[in-house]
Amino acid sequence: MNVQTQTVEPGRVRQMWHLLEPLHAVVYYAPEAFDEAAALGYGVTERWPAYFAWRAAPLGAVGSARVTSAFYSFAPAMTARYVPAGWDVATPAAVLAARLRAVDRAYRAVLGEDVVHGPGLAEAAALARRAAGAAGT
């Protein structure tokens, strides 16, 4: 297998993060996300059960050890506290569907229907999908 390595300027990486992180963070902080989490059965007084479910759902119903290794910045005790119990509230498939609804609702509230249905956002989504598909994993 021939793997090509490209050098990327750290400043460009940081710039990309600053541009895209607000779009990503919507699912963790928007009121629409809290509404969707509550509808699934996650409590509204503590954010961590829903937070771990939102982030871990693409991995499937994995245990806390897998989530700890994937997230890398959380203590194993913290993921052990929230991850297994999170799958008792809702399945990963239900969480993923709710996450899509939450992001859709939040983007519509922030950007407006004209932007959400406009060609610019469609082009940005296509470019993001293309970039994600080209990324090495």
CA–CA separation, 106 vs 23, rounded Å? 10
**Residue 4 — very low, low, confident or very high, per pLDDT cuts 50/70/90?**
low
pLDDT of residue 69: 94
Q: Could you read off the pLDDT of 87-135 as tens digits, one per residue? A: 999 999 999 999 999 999 999 999 999 999 999 989 998 998 998 899 8
User: What is residue 117's DSSP assignment?
Assistant: T
Residue 3 has a CB neighbour count (10 Å cut-off) of 5
pLDDT at 6 over 80: no
CA distances from 71 to 35, 56, 59, 118 (A): 24, 9, 11, 34
The answer to whether 29 and 19 have CB atoms below 8 angstroms apart is no
CA–CA separation, 132 vs 99, rounded Å? 19
Share the mean pLDDT of the chain.
90
Task: Give how far the C-alpha of residue 68 lies from the chain's centroid of Cα atoms, to the nearest Å.
Answer: 16
pLDDT of residue 1: 46
Q: Is the dihedral of CA 27, 79, 87, 62 positive or negative?
A: positive
